[in-house]
Structure 1
Amino acid sequence: MIDQNYRWYPVYTRSRAEKKAYEELNRKGILAYLPLRKAVKQWSDRKKIVEEPLIKSYLFVYISGKEYAEVLMTNGIARFIYFSGQIATIPEQQITDLKLLLATDADLEVLEYDIKPGERVLIKAGPFKGIMAELVSVQNKQRIILRLQNIGYAIEINTSVAFIEPV
């Protein structure tokens, strides 16, 4: 049974402290989610696949209001994200959708701006089946945008336009 007082909240971390803050939250027994993606890093003598945060300086915590202070006292956590003067919350379904996106080998691109509302679509086939998204045109290609509400970020994925239908 899910406690109605618990919600997902986005928190902002100090620069490049996402993984350390995530580990510290886990040590404290606070449920946290740090979306990671695999990226190829090139050095002069080699290439290496590393896991890096999907959204720089962000992670998500599943807490009740009583745990705000404990999260803020965690090493690496800078602050909660606010939207319209209140601490922002993320719907459970968006966290589930984000986990689904990262479970695929899809090429994801994070856009650091809020997409203006466009045509809402449902992805009806392929690895992203069942996800609601917004459709935008980027450089004459049709791409799907999954907007994360209340934090000003969007995730862009490449998928066939044949796989979508208007809602």
Structure 2
Amino acid sequence: MADIRDKERKQWYPVYTHSRSEKKAYQELLNKDIEAYLPLRRQMKQWSDRKKWVEEPLIKSYVFVHIHQHQQTEVLMTSGVARFLYFSGKIASMPDRQIEELKLVLASAYEFEITEDELLPGEKIIIKAGSLKGMHGEIIKYHSQKQLLLRLGDIKYNIIVHVPASLIERLQ
């Protein structure tokens, strides 16, 4: 039976962690000799008394594990791990290519932003920070988290505005 397990191909699986437990779960997985990947990004954080560079998870509450299928129980028994993700009733796996692409994006000099928001044409928004703070608009086209085509105000001119999605707020 060990021979069958050894021949089984390893796959990448996204694992959902408990809130703010990504680093703890990642370290616990490594301590168990389980290959894991936690994409981190360096960000400047501001407190009332100081600024500091910190490494934060790129995707909140997720760690990726590269395991044989028979190791799934061991992963679930790891401190900080909540559950595997499921797709169509089966534990979701990812191609190696997606993890390599994620590593490549993090290693590149390109600016990027992750958002769970689904921004749709026709949505009314307000810009909540920056030099355009308070400006109302409508999403005409959504290119990326950094580039939104907005119709601003009532003048009906379309202006391409490079605004991070985190700086806009939907209007009800």
1:29/1:97 Cα in 2 relative to 1: closer, same or farther (>3 Å)? same
1:111/1:65 Cα in 2 relative to 1: closer, same or farther (>3 Å)? same
Counterpart of 1:94?
Answer: 98
1:21 and 2:25 matched: yes
Higher strand share: 1
1:32 and 2:41 matched: no
* TM-superposed deviation, 1:115: 8.7
The letter for the 1-side match of 2:148 is Q
1:1-167 equivalences under 5 Å are 5-113=9-117, 136-137=142-143, 138-140=147-149
* TM-superposed deviation, 1:142: 9.3
In structure 2, C-alpha distance between the alignment counterparts of 1:113 and 1:9, rounded to whole Å: 23
1:115/1:83 Cα in 2 relative to 1: closer, same or farther (>3 Å)? farther
Deviations 1:120-165 (CA, angstroms, capped at 9, x unpaired): xxxxxxxxxxxxxxxx52422599xxxxxxxxxxxx9xxxxxxxxx
Residue aligned with 1:105, SS: coil
Deviations 1:93-115 (CA, angstroms, capped at 9, x unpaired): 11000000101233221121579
Bigger radius of gyration: 2
Structure 2: runs of 5+ lacking an equivalent: 1-6, 121-141, 150-159, 166-172
Q: CA RMSD in A?
A: 2.5
> Relative contact order, CA 8 A, sep 6+: which one is greater?
1
Residue aligned with 1:109, SS: coil
* TM-superposed deviation, 1:83: 1.3
Identity across the alignment (%): 55
Using the size of structure 1 for normalisation, the TM-score is: 0.67
Structure 1: runs of 5+ lacking an equivalent: 117-135, 144-155, 157-167
Q: How many residues are treated as equivalent by the alignment? A: 124
- The runs of 4+ residues in structure 1 deviating greater than 4 Å are 113-116
